[in-house]
């Protein structure tokens, strides 16, 4: 038996590992394997050239050979058995739930799937019992999640066959904490549900909603004493619809004028009197000029609202209010030209300025806090915030950024990271609610009448299904519940008590 002394062991640990094979990159390993497979050099000479062992060369050759065999292998026959499934009653129940929730299938569609694919008969009552069992398990799981981490929730109402459904979701994590079918959407109904949510820890910094009176009155009844911001999304949608309507009307006047002008030219060529048609052409030209001017003016005002007033920029709140009031005044001045379409937009903008610009007031406060934290003038922070919005491909951004870097010195990069984080957290709209509503529609159309038990199951599924893709990389592979709580959970089927199939 051979013993190694502590001195010898420390000497071995001190000697660096100089193995050449470990230092070779993927490209060099590929070269060794290809050359060995080609046979133009002996294994021994290749080992000497690359300062590796003959065994290592053989290994790389085998790897390359396996890769080639895999690429040129014949296609697998369609009827070849790939793996076997242990078909049990529990597995069939999972199939039913996945078809209904993931596949958006109706109960009749599940019956057809079992008949056509599994050669098995399944009754409506059996499907109902499977779904009912899942509903009873989903309710307690929904109630178990605390809502303390929700900073800004979005609130909205959706309708199915005339029945209102109250919807609430966290803007950051997309977690749906409220999904309830109700008889009325008045203040009392909203107040009761909000009080129940407060018992689960809901204490937001602010809320976002459209301009429904029931939601805002319900917040007051429930004593949710935080600002309720106006949903910029709905306001911009109404303005966009107005712009589109006026543009289409302008195109119609252009077409009408062109048609009359063509008739006038034809009348003159035929030598007939053209006085009557000339008057029509003149009137059509005046209508065309007015319609084009109105469409252009309204489109310009809409661009100012979208690009300046409602933008996530460093424009101070007071300045936004001045520009906002100017735009509303310009809209009102043009209201007589199209009262039935411009009038509602003017009313909306005039009544809800404070709610629509609430995000900008909070942004002003956040920028002031950043300036105080980094001990720099707030003007520099605002300039840096606007530079952050510029396209990185434009020279103007780098020129302005270079000037700010010289003024801020070592504080530049930390401040830049803080500004980037702040910009990503600005909430102007409840777009997440609209996203959830669109996903709910694909389930609602399958049945005319909704029950709260069914909505409870939908809420559980949407909150615990992990995202396959997202524009925000931090959401990919995580569920809304995981994003809200920061804690992982099993697959939603496993949470309902099922054991998922895995290939051996």
For 150-183, the pLDDT digits (tens) are 999 999 998 888 889 999 999 999 999 999 999 9
Tens digit of pLDDT for each residue in 259-272?
999 998 888 888 88
Residues 478 and 468 in one domain: yes
- Tell me: the pLDDT tens digits for 370-380? 999 999 999 99
Same domain, 253 and 319: yes
- Domain-embedded: residue 335: yes
Residue 149's Cβ-count burial label (10 Å; 0-12, 13-18, 19+) is: middle
Region 80-98 average pLDDT: 90
Is the pLDDT confidence value at 454 over 50? yes
pLDDT single digits (tens) 134-147? 999 999 999 999 99
Residue found by looking up tokens 């038990």 in the block: 453
Q: What is the mean pLDDT of residues 68-72?
A: 83
Non-local CB neighbours of 388 within 8 Å, separated by 6+ positions? 416, 419, 420, 423
The predicted pLDDT at position 322 comes to 96
Rg of the chain over all Cα atoms, to the nearest angstrom: 34
Indicate whether 1 belongs to any domain. Answer: no
Please determine, for residue 3, whether its predicted confidence score (pLDDT) is greater than 50.
no
Domain boundary among 403, 424, 445: 424
**Domain assignment present for 197:** yes
The reported pLDDT for the residue numbered 297 is 96
If pLDDT is split at 50, 70 and 90, which confidence band does 253 have? very high
Per cent of the chain over pLDDT 70 is: 95
Domain count, the chain: 4
pLDDT on residue 4: 43
Rounded to whole angstroms, the Cα distance separating 119 from 105 reads 18
pLDDT at 256: 94
> Same structural domain for residues 404 and 453?
no
Same domain, 89 and 217: yes
Tell me the per-residue pLDDT of 456-498, one tens digit each, with 9 for 90 and over: 999 999 999 999 888 888 898 999 999 999 999 999 999 999 9
Same domain assignment for residues 315 and 444: no
Sorting pLDDT into bands at 50, 70 and 90, what band is 70? Answer: confident
Q: Are residues 87 and 226 in the same domain?
A: yes
Beta carbons within 10 angstroms of residue 212's beta carbon: 15
Whether residue 363 sits in one domain with residue 350: no
Is the pLDDT at 15 greater than 50, yes or no? no
CATH number of the structural domain spanning residue 223: 3.30.420.10
> Is residue 504 pLDDT above 50, yes or no?
yes
Q: What is the pLDDT of residue 14?
A: 43
Residues forming a β-bridge with 209: 155, 230
Q: Is 221 helix (H, G, I), strand (E, B) or coil?
A: helix
452 confidence band (pLDDT: 50, 70, 90): confident
59 has pLDDT over 70: yes
Residue 152 is assigned to a structural domain of this protein: yes
What is residue 77's predicted lDDT score, i.e. its pLDDT?
65
More confident of the two residues 77 and 135: 135
Confidence at residue 76, expressed as pLDDT on a 0 to 100 scale:
60
Domain that holds residue 289: 232-356
Alpha-carbon distance values, 299 to 161, 252, 340, 428 (Å):
36, 17, 17, 21
Please check whether residue 373 is in contact with residue 417, taking contact to mean a CB–CB distance below 8 angstroms.
Answer: no
pLDDT at site 18: 59
Average pLDDT of the chain is: 89
Of 110-124, 278-292, 351-365, 422-436, give the lowest mean pLDDT range. Answer: 422-436
pLDDT at 93: 95
Indicate whether 452 belongs to any domain. Answer: yes
Asked if residue 29 belongs to a domain, the reply is yes
Q: Are residues 128 and 35 in the same domain?
A: no
Nearest to 254 by CA among 289, 293, 298: 289
Tell me which of 104-113, 327-336, 387-396 is least confident. Answer: 387-396
Whether residue 10 lies inside any domain: the answer is no
Judgement on whether residues 270 and 285 belong to the same structural domain of the protein: yes
Instruction: Provide φ and ψ at 170, rounded to 5°.
Output: -75, 130
Domain assignment present for residue 341? The answer is yes
Could you tell me if 30 and 46 lie in one domain?
yes
**Residue 1 has what pLDDT?**
41
Residue 13 pLDDT > 70:
no
Average pLDDT over residues 184-207: 93
Same-domain check for residues 94 and 193: yes
On whether the pTM is more than 0.85, the answer is no
Let me know whether 102 and 207 are in one domain: yes
């Amino acid at each position: 038996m051979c013993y190694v002394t502590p001195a010898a062991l420390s000497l071995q640990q001190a000697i660096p590992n100089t193995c050449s094979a470990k230092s070779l990159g993927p490209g060099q390993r590929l070269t060794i394997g290809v050359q060995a497979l080609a046979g133009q050099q002996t294994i021994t000479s290749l080992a000497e050239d690359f300062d590796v062992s003959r065994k290592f060369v053989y290994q790389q050759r085998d790897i390359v050979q396996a890769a080639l065999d895999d690429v040129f292998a014949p296609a697998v026959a369609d009827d070849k058995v790939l793996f076997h499934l242990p078909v049990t009653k529990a597995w069939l129940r999972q199939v039913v739930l996945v078809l209904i929730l993931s596949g958006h299938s109706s109960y009749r569609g599940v019956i057809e799937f079992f008949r056509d694919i599994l050669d098995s008969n399944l009754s409506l009552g059996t499907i109902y019992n499977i779904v009912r069992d899942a509903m009873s398990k989903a309710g307690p799981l929904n109630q178990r999640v605390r809502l303390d981490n929700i900073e800004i929730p979005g609130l909205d109402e959706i309708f199915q066959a005339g029945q209102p459904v109250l919807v609430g979701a966290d803007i950051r994590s997309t977690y749906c904490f409220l999904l309830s079918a109700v008889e009325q959407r008045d203040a009392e109904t909203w107040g009761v549900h909000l009080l129940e949510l407060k018992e689960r820890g809901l204490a937001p910094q602010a809320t976002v909603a459209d301009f429904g009176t029931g939601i805002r009155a319900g917040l007051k009844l429930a004593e949710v004493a935080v600002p309720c911001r106006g949903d910029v999304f709905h306001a911009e949608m109404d303005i966009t619809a107005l712009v589109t309507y006026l543009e289409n009307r302008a195109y119609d006047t252009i077409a009408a004028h062109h048609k009359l002008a063509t008739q006038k030219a034809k009348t003159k060529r035929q030598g007939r009197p053209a006085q009557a048609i000339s008057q029509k052409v003149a009137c059509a030209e005046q209508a065309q000029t007015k319609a084009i001017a109105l469409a252009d003016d309204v489109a310009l005002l809409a661009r100012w609202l979208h690009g300046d007033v409602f933008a996530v920029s460093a424009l101070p709140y007071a300045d936004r209010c001045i520009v906002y009031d100017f735009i509303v005044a310009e809209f009102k001045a043009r209201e007589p030209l199209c009262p039935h379409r411009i009038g509602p937009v003017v009313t909306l903008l005039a009544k809800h300025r404070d709610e629509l610009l609430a995000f900008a007031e909070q942004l002003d406060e956040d920028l002031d806090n950043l300036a105080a934290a980094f001990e720099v003038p707030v003007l520099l922070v605002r300039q840096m915030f606007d530079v952050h919005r510029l396209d990185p491909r434009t020279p103007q951004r780098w020129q302005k950024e270079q000037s700010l870097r010289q003024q801020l010195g070592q504080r530049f990069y930390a401040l830049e990271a803080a500004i980037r984080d702040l910009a990503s957290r600005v909430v102007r709209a409840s777009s997440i609610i609209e996203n959830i509503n669109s996903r709910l529609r694909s389930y609602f159309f399958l049945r005319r009448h909704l029950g709260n038990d069914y909505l409870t199951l939908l809420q559980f599924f949407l909150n615990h299904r992990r995202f396959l893709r997202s524009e925000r990389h931090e959401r990919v592979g995580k569920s809304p519940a995981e994003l809200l709580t920061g804690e992982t959970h099993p697959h939603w089927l496993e949470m309902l008590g099922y054991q998922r199939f895995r290939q051996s």
